[in-house]
Structure 1
């Protein structure tokens, strides 16, 4: 028998039942972050105690967070990230079969009590957490007949909270026939469950069948929620098969994602480090509209010729150009000058979010600084005069007045 794990957890005091109200999302997220830090710190010296802490956290998440408004999705994302960070600690913990059996019973109960499926990452990895084949089989069999009955009754389908953990155990203990049989019962198919069948094919070395299986799910047209996940599954198979170009064009590029255009490019380049980064950027720009939105990405990636092309597009934000002109005045004054001039042109055309005349002043200042370094102030003056004599259609009146003042400033600089 393993020794009794005891540790006084600081996070427990802040995770009492009903201790968070409707507007406590930010407070709860902060608590989760500190809890992860605490458990990881303990894991460095006592992995078994850390695993016990993960179980204790699982038991408290729903009772503590039950009344929090989750409409923004922030809390759900934070919980998911927390559990994904802590589950490896639970899987790797040194524990005998009896200790792990107790953990699984507590975790299973927490999953069943969970009102909004906060703990679904535990269900997905339940078989891995079980570790011992005997425990995997026990938890696989516990609700298998109930699931068969529920999924066979198409007219009165009822949700079984332990479906995912059951499928996880069947997968990990290699009961592939049982897994395939039970997944064939529902009238409608969902990748949320069918991915276990796809993984089973992979584990049997049937890569091509797994790929075909996933592609059928994509073509069904009913998997929009899981579209990116299915594509990633297919992409990974092709990459492992040495078909990286095929993986990139069919699945990688179309599903490139990120919070910003720059993060999209970085993510795709990270997945395909052997591809030309410039080519990846050009592929992304070809796939998505609004060339101007890619200015910051091209600039940061060092493709300044592409960035200048983007700077001329109407979708670019003048404020972004002004900041770039400021940042490049010293290290690449020629680029800074062209970008500043484009910013002025966009401001004259009335573009930019809540743009004001002082924005044009800032762009002009960077233009003057850059062209002074290049001894090209006269060139800048001529460019500004061309904008005055041939302004954009419906040019902003206040911006035009500011342009005339700017021209006077450059004329004095030339003299």
Structure 2
């Protein structure tokens, strides 16, 4: 095992990278691919490689500009990927303890610190309650002394092993000690960063209601409300209280980069809840933003609801135009309505950098849908003219673009 030559190793020498983050991000991704490939056949070797990589990582990227957050996010993803590879392998206790010492030294020597996130998984890395308990015994006195001092002086304290200590106490099953220790941190305010471990401990002890209340009491300025709601939701789901979890936390606990992705995420968690119910609840949670849920409704096949939403508040005209074009033959009535709503939106000034090409695309999609429905072309043109007239000044630009089409 010791003679294996990892391809990533020479690339991660100390200060191997300059200030630009593109190359180190790519090198980290390549290292993960290499380690995961080895893990399929030789999990012990892969675990050793993961430890080696994490040892070499921080010194190698010390000079990289982290202001964009890209390198930090990549490192966190790498940690999250490698922890199971290290934790799940069956290895002698002496070997695991050596790995933990190496990782601990890497955390202590990390000046940025990039490896701070590793502490969240310390109990998991210990892989056995007795090892986790040993680490808790080593770390807890320092954490206790720090928080006692902070409470008496009002000063702020920091110890790199704090989260690792809490994680180790949790993994060791020393839940009462964990809760008592976290209470010492609340000399100024209640931080979810620490209290999450107390909430998890209460849930592990079977104290479901207490765990949820404990989590709810963690809410405050600058605390991650989505993460707190997600924890409470998870407690209820794990206990089989699906309806309660949905009613209390589904909307608050689920966030994705787009409304469509958010809808899909909630629907995946709650397959027993009708999708239309989920969508309407999500829409209701954002009053005045109904049009932004058009794509989610369309993707779910709720075509009438999609048009209803698009007509309640601004929807992106280009999204409407794409829908009109894509569904002109399969769902011509929906496509016709989407295209006409796009016209209305354009004339009201919705959308960014709308051009004449967009107007022509909308008209083409409407006419294509009309043909699929068997609607007379003259009728469609009259409807477009009526919409332009009703819009007043806003319709003048659309009228100029479609002057030739509407005159025929």
Shorter-normalised TM-score: what interval?
A: over 0.9
8 Å contact kept, 1:333–1:371: yes
- Distance change (3 Å), C-alpha of 1:385 and 1:198: closer
- 1:164-215 superposed Cα distances (whole Å, 9 cap, x missing partner): 1111111111223332332222213311112222222222222222122112
8 Å contact kept, 2:314–2:345: no
- Distance change (3 Å), C-alpha of 1:209 and 1:347: closer
1:50 Cα deviation from its structure 2 partner: 0.4
8 Å contact kept, 2:294–2:306: yes
Match status 1:123 vs 2:119:
yes
Structure 2 CA distance for aligned equivalents of residues 16 and 267 of structure 1: 40
SS at match of 1:143: helix
Gaps of 5+ in 2: none
Structure 2 CA distance for aligned equivalents of residues 214 and 12 of structure 1: 42
Structure 2 CA distance for aligned equivalents of residues 54 and 117 of structure 1: 18
Structure 2 CA distance for aligned equivalents of residues 145 and 404 of structure 1: 80
The answer for the alignment partner of 2:285 in structure 1 is 287
2:36 to 35, 40, 64: 40
Structure 2 CA distance for aligned equivalents of residues 180 and 360 of structure 1: 62
The answer for the alignment partner of 1:8 in structure 2 is 5
Match status 1:87 vs 2:83:
yes
Match status 1:395 vs 2:394:
yes
Structure 2 CA distance for aligned equivalents of residues 169 and 351 of structure 1: 54
1:396 Cα deviation from its structure 2 partner: 5.0
Structure 2 CA distance for aligned equivalents of residues 387 and 208 of structure 1: 56
1:313 Cα deviation from its structure 2 partner: 4.1
1:227 Cα deviation from its structure 2 partner: 1.6
- Distance change (3 Å), C-alpha of 1:357 and 1:145: same
- Distance change (3 Å), C-alpha of 1:123 and 1:348: same
Match status 1:326 vs 2:322:
no
1:262 to 235, 257, 260: 260
Structure 2 CA distance for aligned equivalents of residues 31 and 204 of structure 1: 42
TM-score for both structures, normalised by structure 2: 0.93
- RMSD over equivalenced CA pairs, Å: 1.8
Structure 1 CA distance for aligned equivalents of residues 396 and 61 of structure 2: 54
SS at match of 1:217: coil
The answer for the alignment partner of 2:359 in structure 1 is 360
1:233 to 199, 221, 231: 231
8 Å contact kept, 1:150–1:157: no
SS at match of 1:345: helix
- 1:375-414 superposed Cα distances (whole Å, 9 cap, x missing partner): 21233122022124x23143153322123322124xxxxx
Structure 2 CA distance for aligned equivalents of residues 198 and 370 of structure 1: 55
Structure 1 CA distance for aligned equivalents of residues 404 and 348 of structure 2: 17
8 Å contact kept, 2:192–2:223: no
SS at match of 1:395: helix
Number of residue pairs the alignment of both structures matches: 401
Structure 2 CA distance for aligned equivalents of residues 126 and 174 of structure 1: 14
8 Å contact kept, 1:54–1:90: yes
8 Å contact kept, 2:318–2:351: yes
- Distance change (3 Å), C-alpha of 1:143 and 1:349: closer
8 Å contact kept, 1:55–1:103: yes
TM-score for both structures, normalised by structure 1: 0.91
8 Å contact kept, 2:279–2:297: yes
SS at match of 2:137: helix
1:96 to 81, 92, 95: 92
8 Å contact kept, 1:361–1:406: no
Structure 1 CA distance for aligned equivalents of residues 351 and 175 of structure 2: 58
- 1:98-132 superposed Cα distances (whole Å, 9 cap, x missing partner): 11111000011111122334223421121221124
1:240 Cα deviation from its structure 2 partner: 2.8
1:53 Cα deviation from its structure 2 partner: 1.1
Match status 1:382 vs 2:382:
yes
- 1:125-144 superposed Cα distances (whole Å, 9 cap, x missing partner): 21221124443233222232
SS at match of 1:184: helix
Which sits farther off after the overlay, 43-52 or 242-251? 242-251
- What pairs with 1:37-76 in structure 2 (closer than 5 Å)? 37-76=33-72
Structure 1 CA distance for aligned equivalents of residues 332 and 128 of structure 2: 65
Match status 1:250 vs 2:248:
yes
